Structure 1
Amino acid sequence: MLLQLLSIAGSILGFVFLTLSIASGLYYISEVVEEHTQATKRFLKKTIYAIVVLHILLVPLDGFPVKKTLFSVASYAIYFRNLKTFPFVSLTDPIFLLSVLCVLINHYLWFQHFNAAPVVPPQFRYDPHYVPPRRATFAEVASFFGICVWFVPFALFVSLSAGDYVLPTARDDVGGLASKDHSSEREPRLRRRAVGLVRMLINGLRDTVLDFTQGGRRGRMGSLDTGLGTA
């Protein structure tokens, strides 16, 4: 009985530590991408080209369905449109919303393809010597989904940023004054700063947890102070 409880507690702790490790890794990757925006953009472009070529080669070499392949290629064309304003993105942008929809549909179509049972022709249904078509192994399916379905959308999600407008720094202000022939007054302009979506989500979740815990602590302290005051 105690061993089973230890097993449950160990599984919960392992899941928590794994989640924190993934969140920390995504946070670090998001910071690296913000510092190397142009290099990330070039990498994503070349990756999209390479995966489109892989999709096309899988049709004659492995007999992949043409319609599903064409939809995947069209999806990558939509993913490519997100690079026009890279790394900034609006969560209400039609291209971004269409990209999210394409990810879901693309995943469903290929999952249906690999999960479908092989069709045996009627003339070979009772033939003991008939060899059914080879089914992809788990490693092959996982590799295909990881590289050809999930990699680019996941990389875009980590790389894209929400635009945040901030006041220019003192150095930017001085440089602007020098370029305007030392004008006496210059109204400060807002400049755009990249804020990673992953960092925004993690920071928001962290702030929510802190507000919840600190709010409960303040509530307990307030009730304690009230009790002391009435006493």
Structure 2
Amino acid sequence: MFLYIMSIASLVIQAVFLTLAIAAGLYYLAELVEEYTVMAKSVITWAVIATALVHVGLIVFEDIPISLNILGLVQQVLHGTLMKDFPVVRVQSIPFIVAVITLILHHYMALNYFGTVLYSFSEVLAYFTICLWIVPFALFVSLSANDYVLPTTGERQPLLNDDNVVTDYLYRKSKRYSLLSFFTLAKDSILPQRSKKGF
């Protein structure tokens, strides 16, 4: 009984460490995307092309239903459309909304198929990771780069009156809703800050 309680406690500790590791990784990726938007666009574009090629390979070499792979190819076309304006990702645009709907539909169809046909866990995880999660995850992380597209966030300019409408709007809007700002806020509120000693 005592060993059972220890196993539950260890699972909780492992879950906490895994959550912290994922949060730290997301924070680091969001910073990288904000610093290197051109490279991020290139990496995500190549991920879209590679995922489309994986779907073609599944059509040729595997007996996975063609409807799953056609839906996956449609998703990659939509992702490619979103990459035209990168790092700007307009969440109200038709390609973005259709991409989210097809992602949900693709998950539903894949879960139905893999629930009825026997595949190993690693094969199912490989399909979901490469065909469903890589590109949407990269686009999700890159949403924070959208905040730094020109015009930049509103800085108080000494030549303009502080009541300037554009400056006030950009100042209020700046960095509140990005992934990086969320992790920065979490880091500042959870982790203690060291005070630097002045000698």
TM-score, normalised via structure 1 length:
0.64
1:166 pairs with one of 135, 141, 153: 153
AA at the equivalent of 1:17: F
Q: Which has the higher strand share?
A: 1
Whole-Å Cα distance in 2 between the matches of residues 196 and 41 of structure 1? 21
Aligned to 2:197: none
Aligned to 2:3: 3
Post-superposition Cα deviations, 1:125-176, rounded to whole Å, max 9, x if no partner, equal: xxxxxxxxxx432222211211111111111111122437523588xx9xxx
Q: 1:85 to 1:103 in 2, by over 3 A?
A: same
Identity of aligned residues (%): 30
Q: Does 1:139 align with 2:122?
A: yes
Aligned length: 179
AA at the equivalent of 2:72: S
AA at the equivalent of 2:180: R
Post-superposition Cα deviations, 1:16-45, rounded to whole Å, max 9, x if no partner, equal: 111011101110111011111001101111
Whole-Å Cα distance in 2 between the matches of residues 55 and 76 of structure 1? 10
Q: Does 1:157 align with 2:144?
A: no
Q: Does 1:202 align with 2:183?
A: yes
Q: 1:103 to 1:204 in 2, by over 3 A?
A: farther
Whole-Å Cα distance in 1 between the matches of residues 160 and 31 of structure 2? 33
TM-score, normalised via structure 2 length:
0.74
Q: 1:137 to 1:107 in 2, by over 3 A?
A: same
Whole-Å Cα distance in 2 between the matches of residues 60 and 88 of structure 1? 35
The 8 Å contact of residues 87 and 143 in structure 2, kept in 1 or not, is answered as yes
Whole-Å Cα distance in 2 between the matches of residues 45 and 195 of structure 1? 27
The 8 Å contact of residues 89 and 143 in structure 2, kept in 1 or not, is answered as yes
* Structure 1: unaligned runs, 5 residues or longer: 118-134, 174-184, 211-231
AA at the equivalent of 1:163: D
Whole-Å Cα distance in 2 between the matches of residues 142 and 40 of structure 1? 25
AA at the equivalent of 2:123: E
* Structure 2: unaligned runs, 5 residues or longer: 191-199
- Greater CA radius of gyration, 1 or 2? 1
AA at the equivalent of 2:153: V
Q: Report SS of the residue matched to 2:147.
A: strand
The 8 Å contact of residues 89 and 163 in structure 1, kept in 2 or not, is answered as no
What does 1:28-177 correspond to in 2, within 5 Å?
Answer: 28-117=28-117, 135-161=118-144, 162-163=146-147, 166-168=153-155
The 8 Å contact of residues 82 and 96 in structure 1, kept in 2 or not, is answered as yes
Q: Report SS of the residue matched to 1:88.
A: coil
Aligned to 1:176: none
Whole-Å Cα distance in 2 between the matches of residues 59 and 101 of structure 1? 22
Q: Does 1:24 align with 2:24?
A: yes
AA at the equivalent of 1:35: E
Post-superposition Cα deviations, 1:110-139, rounded to whole Å, max 9, x if no partner, equal: 22222224xxxxxxxxxxxxxxxxx43222
- RMSD over aligned Cα atoms: 3.1
